[in-house]
Amino acid sequence: MVDVLVADDFVGTGSNGKVGNKSTVLREAKKDKNTYDSAVAGHMSVRGFGAHVAVVTGITKEVGKTPEGRSFEHRYHFTDTWMERSGKWQCIASHAVLMPEK
């Protein structure tokens, strides 16, 4: 499903500061061995720029366990840029920042 939502010319900066493309996103998703109890996006704001571009900002919270059984709770602030092409919306750029623990 991620494959159709991410544009072929996607560029993103992860919370670790590394820049990647669509192949990077798909490879990292397949490598992820964590077990997720929840992954929820909230506090979202959508701003349109013309009829075919939108910027979405928000906070994602992920809760789960590592393969070793350690619990984790991460929060990321994200900015995603979406573009409508041929009637389909795809993410063309993304940036995520790990938020400090409370």
User: Tell me, what CATH number does 19's domain have?
Assistant: 3.10.450.50
Range of the domain at 15: 2-98
pLDDT greater than 90 at residue 67: yes
What is the torsional sign of CA 54, 45, 75, 37?
Answer: negative
What is the torsional sign of CA 44, 63, 82, 1?
Answer: negative
Residue 93 and residue 81: Cα distance in Å, rounded? 5
The DSSP H or E segment spanning 52 is: none
pTM, whole model, 2 decimals?
0.90
Residue 102 and residue 93: Cα distance in Å, rounded? 28
pLDDT, tens only, 80-101: 999 999 999 999 999 999 998 8
What is the torsional sign of CA 20, 46, 88, 5?
Answer: positive
Q: List, in sequence order, every residue forming a beta bridge with 36; answer none if it has no partner.
A: 64
Domains held by the chain: number: 1
pLDDT, tens only, 25-53: 999 999 999 999 999 999 999 999 999 99
Main-chain phi, psi angles of 31, to 5 degrees: -75, -20
Confidence of residue 15 (pLDDT cuts 50, 70, 90): very high
